[in-house]
Amino acid sequence: MRIRALALSLLLSASAFAQVDPLNNLSGTTPGTGPSPWIRSGSGSLTFFHGFDVHVTHLSQTGPEEQENDTFSTNWFAAGAQFALGDRAFVLARGRVSLEPYTIEDDYAQFFQYVPEDGLIDHMRPHDLFGEVAVQAGYRPTAGTLVSIYGALVGQPALGAAPAQLRSSGVDFAEAPFTYELMETMHDSTSVVTAGFATQLFSVEASLFRDGATTGDHTELDTGDIDSRSARVTLTPLPNLAIQVSRGELGTNDDQPATNERELTSASITYAGARAALTALWTSRSFPNDPVRETATAYGIEVALRASRNTFMARLEHIDRPGGFPRNPRFGQDVEAATHYTAGYIFDFVPNTRYKLGVGINIDYRTKTRDLEDIYGHKPQGIYTFVRFRT
């Protein structure tokens, strides 16, 4: 039976390890694979935990005659506490914030990035000040099963893999993925309610939430009526290996235009160990009530290889953009596919400790830019050098 379960998981193709230990969750009810990202303390029935990541980055974009330089910080900080109720139940409170609204002035430069909600081309928005404010309660009917309910003022619904900045394969990058528009925006949700059941081999979850998206200074919460729903199945046939498939219907509230409704389907495979981490992720988005907007897909693979002092990472991403991108993106034309490559390296000054301090570099490259030389010059690329401090 275990062999058949493994075969079925691989056929479904797809992130998030259904660990029964709730402290191993990266965000919301999205469980993480591999070693826990949290530093823990406490004793008895009360456990405290925290984790953080800070990049201080200098960017140099080459290609155009006038080179663009920028200095900024991407970051997140998380903390929480879990109270055990006997041997089988718990209550978990946690929060995550990002100071990017204050450490990034409006946005940061990133050739070929696209964030339509903010009207950004060639630039990336800061993450919201509040990434998660949530409480989760769970009960273990048996030693290997968990029934849970999760409620968040702001948090992540059961949709897709963990956010890029929290994934073991993505946490070391100084910049957002180019597939942000399709793969990451659903993580900015409010009024999230998720119910789930998990075992050592699989988990099933369902969420109701508001498809919130902030604009402007990104320090407010986009609260309002619940207008979205999603469901996710995660298979964990082997330790540190997770396969996820999920689907969501976003923005279906009656007070919103029907053309804003989105259907999102996600699948991913995640492996995370002490020395290597990998995520392969696919997402498709459609607008069922808007015949002008084409269905768009994005897929990519993200890898991190770690030794005691050295980390090597790479991303390969492919995404559909609206016709006319980047000069004048508009719907109603054939989508334009784009492929991006990012490679990076980090040297850690102090190896094998609870806190890591290092210096690194990311270099971006994009294919098919010959027709855009009048805007970006010859072989445009971004070079990100940074200092990184994290748990």
pLDDT digits (tens, 9 = 90+) for 50-91: 999 999 999 999 888 888 899 999 999 999 999 999 989 999
pLDDT at 191 exceeding the cut of 80 = yes
Question: Can you tell me the distance from the alpha carbon of 212 to that of 216, in angstroms, rounded to the nearest whole number?
Answer: 13
How confident is the prediction for the chain on average, in pLDDT?
A: 86
Distances (CA, A) of 98 to 14, 103, 129, 328: 28, 9, 5, 31
In angstroms, what CA-CA distances link 48 with 27, 38, 83, 121? Answer: 16, 9, 9, 41
pLDDT for residue 16: 31
Which pLDDT value is given to residue 329? 82
Distance CA 20, CA 17 (A): 9
Q: For residue 9, what are its two tokens?
A: 């998981």
Distant-in-sequence, close-in-space partners of 370: CB < 8 Å, separation ≥ 6: none
Is it the case that residue 367 has pLDDT exceeding 70?
yes
Average confidence (pLDDT) over 205-218: 87
192 touches 155 (CB < 8 A): yes
Phi, psi of 360, rounded to the nearest 5 degrees: -160, 180
Q: How far apart are CA 49 and CA 319, in angstroms?
A: 36
Query: Which pLDDT belongs to residue 68?
Result: 84
pLDDT number for residue 2: 36
The mean pLDDT value for 241-256 works out to 84
- Is residue 33 pLDDT above 70, yes or no? no
The DSSP secondary-structure symbol of 233 reads E
Query: CA-to-CA distance for 55 and 52, rounded, in angstroms?
Result: 10
DSSP class of 174? S
Residue linked to tokens 């269905």: 295
CA distance 171 to 168: 6
pLDDT at 12 over 50: no
Q: Measured between alpha carbons, how far is 43 from 25 in angstroms, rounded to an integer?
A: 20
All structural domains of the chain with their residue ranges: 2-390
How large is the C-alpha radius of gyration of the chain? Answer: 20
User: How far apart are the C-alpha atoms of 50 and 41, rounded to whole Å?
Assistant: 9
| The pLDDT value given to residue 261 | 87
DSSP state, 331? T
Average pLDDT over residues 253-265: 76
Segment (H or E) for 345: strand 336-348
Protein fold of 2-390? Porin (2.40.160)
- What pLDDT band is residue 258 in, cutting at 50, 70 and 90? low
Q: Is the peptide bond before 31 cis (omega within 30 degrees of 0)?
A: no
pTM (2 d.p.): 0.88
Classified as helix, coil or strand, 192 is strand
- Judge if the upstream peptide bond of residue 35 is cis by omega within 30 degrees of 0: no
Read off the pLDDT of each residue in 224-252 and give the average, rounded to a whole number.
91
Structure token digits, residue 59: 């960017």
Query: What are 70's strand-pairing partners?
Result: 59
Q: Which residues contact 240 (CB under 8 A, 6 or more apart)?
A: 17, 33, 34, 271, 272, 273
Mean pLDDT of 9-13: 30
